[in-house]
Structure 1
Amino acid sequence: MATSGAVDDRALKHSQALHYDTLPETGYFRLLKLHPGSDSDAIKADLLVRSIDQAADTYEAISYVWGDPNITEQVCCNQTWMSVTVNLADALRTFRSLSSTTLVWADAVCINQRDLDERASQVKQMDKVYINARRVITWLGRDPDGIAGDCFQLIVETNTIFDDEYLRSNAPPWDQPRLTEPYKISTDGAQWAKVSTLLQKPWFERVWVVQEVGLAKECTLHWGAHKIDVAHIFEFAHWHGWKASFASIPGILALRLRTGRLFQMYVDVHARYANVTSWRDTLPLIKFQGSRKRKGSFPDVLMVGNQLKATDARDHIYAFLGNPYARDKDGQPIVGVDYKKPVDGVFLEVTCAMLQHSSSAPWVLSCLEHNDVQQLRERTAPSWVPQWGQPETLPTLASPNYWYCAGGPSDTFTASIRDTKFLEVQGCVFDEVAWLSKVILAWNARVDTQLWDNETRSANMPLIDTLWQDLGKVLTVSEDAFTTTLSKERPANRPKIVNTQQNLEEYNTYCSHVRAACSSAPSQESSASFDGSCSPHDFEWSLLYCHGRRLMVTKNGRLGISPGLAAEVGDVCCVLPGASVPFVLKPSGQGVYKLVGDCYLHGVMDGQIIEELQGGRCKLEMIVIE
């Protein structure tokens, strides 16, 4: 990483901090004018103050990970040498021209990071920075193993095969034919391992990239000397999500959680943006997804961010304020940006704001997770305020796109907040937790037994059979009710469509496979290719969405799926009018409760408790949650 240039004056200016002139007013930002240079030349640039609107389409916005702050390189900006992380220096070196100046925007240099007021002001208009950019250029980092070219080629070739089949079929993505041998796509596990390496790059885990990519007109990902349109990454993630049989290809299943995160990011966030010119229209599958006009909510958006990383926890909120669901009826953000406010204060503020907006209020209480009973009891923040940014947060059971309507129409939900501590809601307490199973862990539900933990492997019994056996000791239940509960009646099938026969077929296929895997005897069902009507991965996917939860039996004999680790026997079940799912509450004395989390209860999800209320068989009461 040799440099040349004004070596004699570097010693004088090496330690000087870059001076930032105060920006004139809202609507202005700084651009970095990169001077031309070759790989061996020092990076030189000037900062220019511009109106965001007037600068539209004149610059490129860089999306990148800062990298290790202790590993830096010197760049010359406004004739002053300053330190930037090596990763940013690599990006600037890659994106500058050999012969002409280049206008770019990079947050680490273009925002005075030491000035919290400026930082807050610039974050408020971050969406416009990316909307107005000619294109967004993403830097993933160096490619020391020389695998980027093969990786990108594999993704593009796979998308091309699936896209061509899809366009010829005139059938929706979920009705595309299953993969069967001989496969048209690569089955080389070593090649798919390169895609796994790509998806493990730190950039894919950064919370800010969601907005940066989503608002881009064009977006390319650069990894070393190679690049790919970001549309191909999300197209691939969609095919991975919609083709369950994809998992039968060696090396593919290991990608599922990472592509699943990208799929959810696109569905819940990217597809909601209203920018007219977008990379989202360039490939058929993601274009179809964007045309579906699914309902959304700001809690859904924030849940996507829980799986991503932020240096400042407040950015788990602020990084999404450019989303349409973060706006009130007047088009203003529902919360301001204030990096001086404590993190818990920011989380409380956004939760209170969402509870006052009809588009968010019915769903926000489902975004909770408490690690254990003791943590819930000792927590100083209100139990009803989600701790945004927890990576292990359970998948929510509530979404405006699910058919669940346990509390009736969503527009009937109301809540009031007292003293910023107590949440007061009308509700019906109708049952009590009587039994809880062992925790369902995703890796123990996998078809691949090598992923099971030692306890499950040594038991020589699949998790599914352990759950059935333990449940049978406390409740007599049909296999149909058991499988329907574990699939949670397929909430995404809106309107409600529960195919009992299909559910049982998928369950039996899954059970045959994992039971055979536990046995030393060879079994026909354990074949790696699945030519029948369903694959063991179909029911496996349902079980994965039970991760961190437990089977639950209530005092009145209802079967369900509990919240996470903080639920215990004696907790009560309630329905809140307007909330789509039931909740579990923990009595904490004097008529006050702590909110444990949402749950699934068989025979409750379609509004049956509301019908009992209307028939006078149960009653509403004021529920106070602390």
Structure 2
Amino acid sequence: MVSTIEEHRGSAVTKPHSKIYPQVPLVYPDSSLRLLKIEPGWPGDSICVSLVSINERHKSPPYVALSYTWGDPTISEQIKCNSVDIDVTISLANALRVLRELPAEGDPAGNGVSVISRSHPLHSGNRVWSGIARNINEEELVRTRRAGKPSSERFFWIDALCINQEDKPESAAQVATMRDIYSRADKVRVFLGKEIGPQQKLFTPTELTEPVSRTIDKWLPKMTIQELGLEPLVLMFIVQALRNEGRVEVNGSGIKTIIEKGFPGKERKEWNALRAFLKLPWFYRVWIIQEIVLAKEATLAIGNWEIDWEPFAKAIDVLEATNLPISHHVKLSSTSKETWTGFDVAPAHYLGKLRHRPGKTKPLYYLLVDALERGSTDPRDHVYAVLGMASEMVDPEQSPIRKELLAVDYGKSVGEIFRDATRFIMFNLNTLHFLAVAQLTPKSKALACSSWVPNWAEPRTCFPLLAQFFNANLKQPGFSTSYNDVPNVLAVPGYKVGKIVKTTPVLEGDWNEWHYPPLQEEIQFFNASWELVSKRLETKKPGQKNDGLLQPEYYQSQGAASEALIYTLTANHDDESLNGRGDGDVNIAKSGRAWMKKYADAFSKKSGLKKIGHVLKGVVIAPEGVHFQSAFMRAAVGRRFFLTEQGIMGIGSASLEAEDELFVVYGLSVPMLLRPVKAQRGAGVSGEKPGPQSFVVVGECYAHGIMDGEVVRHERDMGREPESLSLV
């Protein structure tokens, strides 16, 4: 069973070092800490460090906390810690080299330091990034890094070395106090790695030798990408983003976008450097959220380059605004296809937003949802790594169940930790919103946990439905389970809508990508969906009733059915609409009809001429189908289209099957797909036998025509109360 910091945070120390910690014990693990001193050395010198113990954390000397990724535990380097030889990962060894001082005596250039003189073209004094970034080997900075200088940083806190990873109680106690450790640090230094990446993997030989686009920095001497290097190239994007900070446009829906002045064209390969930088592993780790959010001051280091956090975060805000969904500002060329994957700015952007929240906290539920796309070596850390920022955890009047459900305990299984965190959310916020996150997948099954408990360590398999735009349950409150009920079974009230009878295959793809025209898979998915709808249209009997719920009205004509399909395949969402809904105006429906005429088998005119757009005074105007394509990809990728026995159409998770059942559940604004569990199939979770009305949660869904309380109103009019559903 995984239970130590070494295992749950990765493995930065690859050999036991029990000889070290008896020399420097933590008298009070929940209020003491160890600090690290690094002996000065030249780049080629071996690394020597020593630990000191501070009994009262609030009386510790000034220290710098390190934030980094632990790296591959199979690739290690030997260092000395308190005169004991230990192995650490290469990632940690490289970070220690960047952090340590240079010896007071000796020639830096003659000892492996690549000193950058004031006249060098990449010296910060000569470049546009002056004042926000620098190379630590610039001659002025080399002098301040010499041992004994006033600016030298003497003490560090580094989790892999400052925590005894073999002591379970100490590990848990220190993890529980991470908020205090990082918020007390004078500075947090982030080490992203030795390099952004091999240039040869990001650029072709020809691209490496081509001059950098002059739009990035018109004052830059003619330099190739190879001569400039990836880090300075990224710095130029950051500086240009800061220049664009005030250049804001607001469209009719109130959506802000940034004028993209000064950036190279979307086809230019310089963007590869920015994409690679923002894909560095550090940005995607769950632990780093609190490490950077709680910092008084922070810097980012990549190799020998250092960037101040605050200007970087402002630049990320601008880049995020220029990286909005393409439907906001489609710019198509006259070629036959346009693909723009953008750059994954969201992980970095989130850190800046959370850092500026009052108290630097959010409710635990939202922190867990926000961290779904991040990684950790041990899934338990998807809960424990965000506790320090949970508003409930810093509330002095928090209820006693906090200690019981959220106490750091690596002796618990992953399923138990996820269940207890979910129960805490349910009882603390009196909400069932977490059910919209639960999804039936092979990974969630492997948790050996109740299906209503989200796998808080699993990224979403499809774009989440925007529940705030819908009201399927008429805002009826949710659960009837009490705190003392069986912890693995959740009882909720709800109405059965119908059984799933037909589904299409899953629409495979990447919902983070945008392209136009549609790929063949997307056209096939639409055609398969329409085939099911058209067959229903042929057999539909006007006024027919089924299970007390009226047949959907959208089968009255082909036009009405096709419009309903458009809304279904976009989950009735339009990010340009004033109210966020696709039926809020005519854009999605109109665009969808144009898309269908071009690409759908049943609607296409088969003209053979599929224009990308038309040109007006040199400006390429996007075709009408682009708007639908953007919304369609985001909503449908990773999902299946389905029909119920009544003919209700919808899209749901990849795991849904025929015979699954559609429900409106009190406490949840979007419908749910549930799978009935028969008692004779065997025992449920932890040996609890499911009853006759037990269900496995398949996932949330969009079902056209029942998203605004229609089912609840109808059932109430019929005098029927919701049934109690046991989710197991």
Conservation of the 8 A alpha-carbon contact between 2:642 and 2:650: yes
CA deviation map 1:590-613 (0-9, x unaligned): 222221111112222222333334
Q: Name which of structure 1's ranges 43-52 and 345-354 shifts more when overlaid on structure 2.
A: 43-52
After superposition, the Cα gap between the structure-2 partners of 1:468 and 1:237, relative to the gap in structure 1 and judged at 3 Å, is farther
After superposition, the Cα gap between the structure-2 partners of 1:370 and 1:425, relative to the gap in structure 1 and judged at 3 Å, is same
In structure 2, the partner of 1:558 is 648
In structure 2, the partner of 1:46 is 50
Question: Which one of 62, 65, 89 corresponds to residue 61 of structure 1?
Answer: 65
Secondary structure at the aligned position of 2:698 is classed as strand
Distance 2:494 2:251 in 1: 46
Distance 1:413 1:323 in 2: 27
After superposition, the Cα gap between the structure-2 partners of 1:132 and 1:246, relative to the gap in structure 1 and judged at 3 Å, is farther
For residues 232-271 of structure 1, the aligned pairs below 5 Å read 232=314, 234-236=316-318, 238-242=320-324, 244=326, 248=331, 253-256=340-343, 258-263=344-349
Tell me by how many angstroms 1:191 deviates: 0.5
Tell me by how many angstroms 1:325 deviates: 4.6
Conservation of the 8 A alpha-carbon contact between 2:578 and 2:584: no
In structure 2, the partner of 1:456 is 521
Secondary structure at the aligned position of 1:194 is classed as helix
CA deviation map 1:378-401 (0-9, x unaligned): 9843221222212354443365xx
For residues 584-599 of structure 1, the aligned pairs below 5 Å read 584-589=673-678, 590-599=692-701
In structure 1, the partner of 2:31 is 27
In structure 2, the partner of 1:608 is 710
In structure 2, the partner of 1:76 is 80
Conservation of the 8 A alpha-carbon contact between 1:272 and 1:324: no
Secondary structure at the aligned position of 1:204 is classed as helix
Conservation of the 8 A alpha-carbon contact between 1:30 and 1:105: yes
Distance 2:270 2:40 in 1: 36
Distance 1:270 1:451 in 2: 39
CA deviation map 1:566-600 (0-9, x unaligned): x2222222222221221111111222222111111
In structure 2, the partner of 1:274 is 359
Question: Which one of 176, 179, 191 corresponds to residue 257 of structure 2?
Answer: 176
In structure 2, the partner of 1:164 is 246
Secondary structure at the aligned position of 1:242 is classed as coil
Tell me by how many angstroms 1:60 deviates: 2.0
Secondary structure at the aligned position of 1:405 is classed as coil
Tell me by how many angstroms 1:243 deviates: 5.8
In structure 1, the partner of 2:161 is 109
After superposition, the Cα gap between the structure-2 partners of 1:224 and 1:620, relative to the gap in structure 1 and judged at 3 Å, is same
Q: TM-score, normalization: structure 2? A: 0.70
Tell me by how many angstroms 1:472 deviates: 2.6
Tell me by how many angstroms 1:336 deviates: 0.9
Which letter does structure 2 place at the counterpart of 1:302? L
Tell me by how many angstroms 1:535 deviates: 8.3
In structure 1, the partner of 2:497 is 430
Distance 1:447 1:252 in 2: 6
In structure 2, the partner of 1:397 is 465
For residues 496-575 of structure 1, the aligned pairs below 5 Å read 497=581, 498-507=583-592, 523-525=611-613, 531=621, 536=626, 539-565=629-655, 567-575=656-664
Secondary structure at the aligned position of 1:66 is classed as coil
After superposition, the Cα gap between the structure-2 partners of 1:197 and 1:274, relative to the gap in structure 1 and judged at 3 Å, is same
Distance 1:560 1:156 in 2: 46
In structure 2, the partner of 1:419 is 486
Tell me by how many angstroms 1:126 deviates: 0.9
In structure 2, the partner of 1:582 is 671
Secondary structure at the aligned position of 2:673 is classed as strand
In structure 2, the partner of 1:384 is 452
CA deviation map 1:87-108 (0-9, x unaligned): 1111121123332452222111
Tell me by how many angstroms 1:541 deviates: 4.6
Conservation of the 8 A alpha-carbon contact between 1:140 and 1:223: yes
Secondary structure at the aligned position of 2:95 is classed as helix
Distance 2:636 2:390 in 1: 30
Tell me by how many angstroms 1:315 deviates: 0.7
Secondary structure at the aligned position of 1:327 is classed as coil
Which letter does structure 1 place at the counterpart of 2:340? L
For residues 454-493 of structure 1, the aligned pairs below 5 Å read 456=521, 461=523, 463-475=525-537, 476=555, 477-490=560-573
Which letter does structure 2 place at the counterpart of 1:371? T
In structure 2, the partner of 1:282 is none
CA deviation map 1:48-93 (0-9, x unaligned): 333333448x222211111111222233333333322111111121
Tell me by how many angstroms 1:549 deviates: 1.3
In structure 1, the partner of 2:6 is none
Q: TM-score, normalization: structure 1? A: 0.80
Distance 2:230 2:694 in 1: 58
Distance 1:29 1:534 in 2: 61
Conservation of the 8 A alpha-carbon contact between 1:445 and 1:463: no
Which letter does structure 2 place at the counterpart of 1:24? V
Which letter does structure 2 place at the counterpart of 1:355? M
Conservation of the 8 A alpha-carbon contact between 2:462 and 2:511: no
Question: Which one of 166, 171, 174 corresponds to residue 119 of structure 1?
Answer: 171
- The answer to whether the aligner puts 1:203 opposite 2:203 as a matched pair is no
Distance 1:160 1:252 in 2: 27
Tell me by how many angstroms 1:352 deviates: 2.1
Conservation of the 8 A alpha-carbon contact between 2:504 and 2:525: no
Secondary structure at the aligned position of 1:53 is classed as helix
Conservation of the 8 A alpha-carbon contact between 2:256 and 2:321: no
Conservation of the 8 A alpha-carbon contact between 1:211 and 1:319: yes
Which letter does structure 2 place at the counterpart of 1:523? K
Distance 2:36 2:715 in 1: 63
- The answer to whether the aligner puts 1:358 opposite 2:420 as a matched pair is no
Secondary structure at the aligned position of 1:102 is classed as coil
Tell me by how many angstroms 1:464 deviates: 3.7
Conservation of the 8 A alpha-carbon contact between 1:142 and 1:223: yes
Consecutive unaligned residues in structure 1, runs of 5 or more:
1-12, 277-295
After superposition, the Cα gap between the structure-2 partners of 1:207 and 1:447, relative to the gap in structure 1 and judged at 3 Å, is closer
Identical pairs, percent? 25
Secondary structure at the aligned position of 2:653 is classed as coil
Distance 1:597 1:572 in 2: 11
Which letter does structure 1 place at the counterpart of 2:92? L
CA deviation map 1:543-569 (0-9, x unaligned): 22333211222222222222331x222
After superposition, the Cα gap between the structure-2 partners of 1:101 and 1:140, relative to the gap in structure 1 and judged at 3 Å, is closer
Distance 1:379 1:78 in 2: 41
Tell me by how many angstroms 1:533 deviates: 9.5
> For the pair shown, which has the larger CA radius of gyration, 1 or 2?
2
Distance 1:88 1:451 in 2: 45
Secondary structure at the aligned position of 1:473 is classed as helix
CA deviation map 1:379-431 (0-9, x unaligned): 843221222212354443365xx232222337554434743332111222222
Question: Which has the larger helix fraction?
Answer: 1
After superposition, the Cα gap between the structure-2 partners of 1:266 and 1:395, relative to the gap in structure 1 and judged at 3 Å, is farther
Distance 2:614 2:441 in 1: 36
Tell me by how many angstroms 1:114 deviates: 1.6
CA deviation map 1:418-448 (0-9, x unaligned): 4333211122222222222221223499654
Which letter does structure 2 place at the counterpart of 1:551? F
Secondary structure at the aligned position of 2:662 is classed as strand
After superposition, the Cα gap between the structure-2 partners of 1:196 and 1:274, relative to the gap in structure 1 and judged at 3 Å, is same
Conservation of the 8 A alpha-carbon contact between 1:550 and 1:564: yes
Consecutive unaligned residues in structure 2, runs of 5 or more:
1-14, 102-145, 200-228, 538-554, 679-691
Tell me by how many angstroms 1:169 deviates: 7.0
After superposition, the Cα gap between the structure-2 partners of 1:270 and 1:526, relative to the gap in structure 1 and judged at 3 Å, is farther
Distance 2:466 2:584 in 1: 21
Q: Name which of structure 1's ranges 144-153 and 85-94 shifts more when overlaid on structure 2.
A: 144-153
In structure 1, the partner of 2:92 is 88
Which letter does structure 2 place at the counterpart of 1:304? D
After superposition, the Cα gap between the structure-2 partners of 1:170 and 1:551, relative to the gap in structure 1 and judged at 3 Å, is closer
Matched positions, count = 575
- The answer to whether the aligner puts 1:36 opposite 2:40 as a matched pair is yes
In structure 1, the partner of 2:378 is 312
- The answer to whether the aligner puts 1:213 opposite 2:284 as a matched pair is no
Secondary structure at the aligned position of 1:30 is classed as strand
